[in-house]
């Protein structure tokens, strides 16, 4: 997913001299060719994400489309004041890209977890928040952010995620992707954890349950039109983020505003994580892998 997104931005930047890229001293195995091709439009800010954000804001004020890039929480939580005041308040064309969302860098410990970022970023003014499901959505997200102006947060998985979509897609602002036909019960997932959610849904459907899978590349804005359909009775949200304030909370707020009778169940990381382990172990431990989601959703149905 990471490589696909970067490669697509790189390709577009070759034809668009307004695109600039600033990294927070990482990703050179992925970014080397971009650095060589973009020349002065590529900058390494070092381990100084607040400075990186200020640089990008200055580039945007000068008429450029600027990208910032770092691991999980570093381009977001470490410099939230700069994102809030320098970028979002002035509605600047800065694309904040994080790689290794959720607990993808699990063995690095809590300092490298991206588990509060959605809650923080989606509250800022003027910003869109995009969490692709797979490399196909990541490629579409790259095209979308290069075509559209304004602050955007793009939350990527780490790498080597399989494709869930069967063919290329195009993102439409705030819109979800429905992977099955209409169902009374739907599992709506955001980000690469959708791989596990889709596997759980496929197993349930094989057993005859009326349940569909929906991927939500947009956390902000939320697809209110989709949620306002009369046939939907139960929604299960899945995210690799703390339960409070994340994607499930955004869906809950939308359901409340719509005065909908949809019953919502949220599957997310607990609000306290006190163990260090690899991503697969952590997802299994907290019941967010395919097996855990299958068992929980089946019980709820």
List, for residues 88-146, the tens digit of each pLDDT value. 999 999 999 999 999 999 999 999 999 999 999 999 999 999 999 999 999 999 999 99
3-state class (DSSP) for residue 217: coil
The pLDDT value given to residue 84:
98
Please list the alpha-helical segments (H only) found in 16-68: 28-38, 49-61
Nearest-angstrom CA–CA distance, 51 and 140? 29
How many other β-carbons are positioned within 10 Å of the β-carbon of residue 222? 23
Distance of alpha carbon 131 from alpha carbon 289, whole angstroms: 18
pLDDT of residue 26: 87
Q: What is the pLDDT along the chain (301 residues), one digit of tens a residue?
A: 999 999 999 999 999 999 999 999 987 788 999 999 999 999 999 999 999 999 999 999 999 999 999 998 999 999 999 999 999 999 999 999 999 999 999 999 999 999 999 999 999 999 999 999 999 999 999 999 999 999 999 999 987 899 999 999 999 999 999 998 899 999 999 999 999 999 999 999 999 999 999 999 999 999 999 999 999 999 999 999 999 999 999 999 999 999 999 999 999 999 999 899 999 999 999 999 999 999 999 999 9
Residue 124: φ, ψ to 5°:
-75, 150
């Amino acid at each position: 997913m990471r490589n696909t997104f970067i490669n697509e931005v790189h390709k577009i930047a070759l034809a668009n001299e307004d695109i600039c890229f600033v990294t927070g001293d990482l990703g050179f195995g992925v970014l080397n060719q971009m650095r060589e091709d973009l020349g002065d439009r590529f900058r390494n800010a070092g381990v100084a994400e607040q400075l990186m954000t200020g640089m990008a804001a200055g580039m945007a004020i000068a008429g450029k489309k600027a990208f910032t890039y770092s691991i999980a929480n570093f381009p977001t939580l470490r410099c939230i004041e700069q994102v809030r005041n320098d970028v979002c308040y002035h509605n600047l064309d800065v694309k904040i890209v994080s790689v290794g969302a959720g607990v993808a860098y699990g063995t690095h410990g809590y300092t490298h977890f991206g588990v509060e970022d959605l809650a923080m970023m989606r509250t800022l003014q003027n910003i869109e928040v995009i969490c692709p499901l797979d490399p196909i959505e990541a490629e579409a997200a790259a095209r979308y952010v290069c075509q559209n102006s304004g602050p955007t947060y793009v939350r990527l998985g780490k790498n080597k995620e399989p494709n869930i979509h069967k063919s290329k897609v195009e993102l439409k602002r705030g819109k979800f992707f429905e992977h099955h036909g209409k169902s009374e019960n739907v599992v709506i997932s955001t980000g690469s954890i959708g791989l596990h959610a889709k596997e759980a849904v496929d197993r349930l459907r094989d057993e005859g349950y009326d349940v569909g899978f929906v991927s939500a590349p947009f956390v902000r804005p939320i697809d209110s039109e989709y949620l306002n359909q009369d046939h939907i009775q139960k929604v299960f949200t899945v995210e690799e983020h703390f339960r409070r304030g994340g994607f499930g909370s955004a869906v809950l707020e939308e359901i409340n505003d719509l005065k909908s009778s949809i019953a919502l169940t949220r599957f997310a990381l607990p609000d306290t994580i006190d163990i260090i382990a690899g991503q697969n172990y952590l997802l299994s431990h907290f019941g967010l892998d395919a097996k855990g989601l299958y068992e929980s959703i089946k019980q709820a149905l």
